[in-house]
Amino acid sequence: MPKSRRLVSVVVGLIVLGMAAADAQPTWLMRYKWTEGESITWLVDLEARGAITTSGMGAVPQTADISIVMHMSQDQTVEAVDPDGNATVLTEIGPMEMDVTLPVVGAQHITIDPKTGKVTAGGADVPAPDAVKRFLGRPFKHVLTPRGEVLEMELPFELADLMELGSTAPMQALKAMQQQPMIFPEQAIAPGYCWINRRDLPPKLPEGEQQTELPPITQTVTYKLAGFEDVAGTECARIEMLGVMEIGGVVTMPMQPRAGGPGLPPQMPIPQGTTKVGPAHFSISGTIWFDREAGQPLKAEAAMLLDVRQETEGSITVEGQQHDLHVQVELRDFEVLLTLVRAQEG
């Protein structure tokens, strides 16, 4: 049975059970609360493991393991709150440490300071790769209603980075998750209640990207208010989630020679030609602990699985010699385990 059909079956079952359980119980109105000028720091732990398979050019397909363990912080600042309670939220990446194992380069310890642009690999300073510059070079912004509806947003991943697979994939998954927050139901709800958030993302690129047309991109997440728990002295709503994001076609985009991704030497040859990515499948399951008094999540844990196929055709220059290139790369069952905890004030 296709993944999307299995998800629909699970969702229908959860909704039926949830509606029955929620009947005739005390209810709560769940809303985000924002204060202009407030800052929230998130501590992020991410672990990603999987395999990448490369084939083409008449060679035997090669499969190599990838692993990434990352610790970082993120700062969210509420720039403005309008009379309706809608908030303009700016998110900035903080210092980052990664232990990365990639094909070609092996294991490396990498640190990134987004404020200074300094990158180290194995204790030595290295030039910041283009993909890192794009991801860390500017804060990203979204405008949210008290229910969590997104009024304005960036595309939840950089298309050029999606084309590069491997070490940037968990970063894009994290960015996608944070830019698509949970939307609460309009009405008050009781434990056991289930609801669905579905979004069809607009088929357009952020400013500055090369012009190309995107296939349908759909995100569907089912939430369930499982109950209430005490988390470090704070009463939180425990909300369970299950969802998928699908890129339902193939993205075709011209590629230009650029510096390598995190952990790759800048001088490593990069192909020039056309890259096709898709279809792509991202699934997620996890739990959010929502602090009702503060109107903000206190903690979130999520497990994501990524399946992406990429094909590159063109040429590559090595030591001054140009060679034809036709390579297929597949990232399958790439698992990302993610924990976000709101840092204590003071």
**CA–CA separation, 238 vs 165, rounded Å?**
33
Query: Does residue 128 contact residue 114 with C-beta atoms inside 8 Å?
Result: no
Structure tokens that stand for 12 in this block = 């229908």
**Nearest 10 degrees: Cα torsion 268, 68, 330, 273:** -30
Quote the strand ranges of the chain, DSSP E.
39-56, 59-81, 87-102, 106-113, 118-121, 124-126, 140-144, 150-152, 194-201, 217-231, 234-247, 251-255, 272-291, 296-318, 321-342
Instruction: Give the pLDDT of residue 251.
Output: 73
- Residue ranges of the domains in the chain? 3-65+155-342
CA atoms within 13 A on the CB side of 146: 16
Whether residue 279 has a cis bond before it, omega within 30° of 0: yes
Between strands 87-102 and 106-113, the pairing is antiparallel
Instruction: Give the pLDDT of residue 51.
Output: 81
Structure tokens that stand for 339 in this block = 């924990």
Query: Does residue 46 contact residue 329 with C-beta atoms inside 8 Å?
Result: no
Instruction: Give the pLDDT of residue 91.
Output: 85
Q: What is this structure's pTM?
A: 0.76
Instruction: Give the pLDDT of residue 1.
Output: 54
Instruction: Give the pLDDT of residue 264.
Output: 45
Q: Alpha helices of the chain — where are they, by DSSP H?
A: 3-22, 130-136, 159-162, 169-179
Query: Does residue 149 contact residue 184 with C-beta atoms inside 8 Å?
Result: no
Q: Could you list the pLDDT tens digit for every one of the 346 residues in the chain?
A: 555 445 545 555 555 555 544 456 789 999 999 999 999 999 999 998 888 777 765 667 778 888 889 999 988 899 999 999 999 998 888 888 989 887 766 788 988 888 777 888 888 888 766 656 666 656 778 899 999 998 887 654 454 454 454 445 555 555 555 556 789 999 999 999 999 998 776 555 544 445 455 677 788 999 999 999 999 899 999 999 999 888 777 777 776 554 444 444 444 555 677 777 777 788 899 999 999 889 999 999 999 888 888 787 887 776 677 777 777 777 778 888 999 999 876 4
Residue 13: phi and psi, rounded to 5, are -60, -45
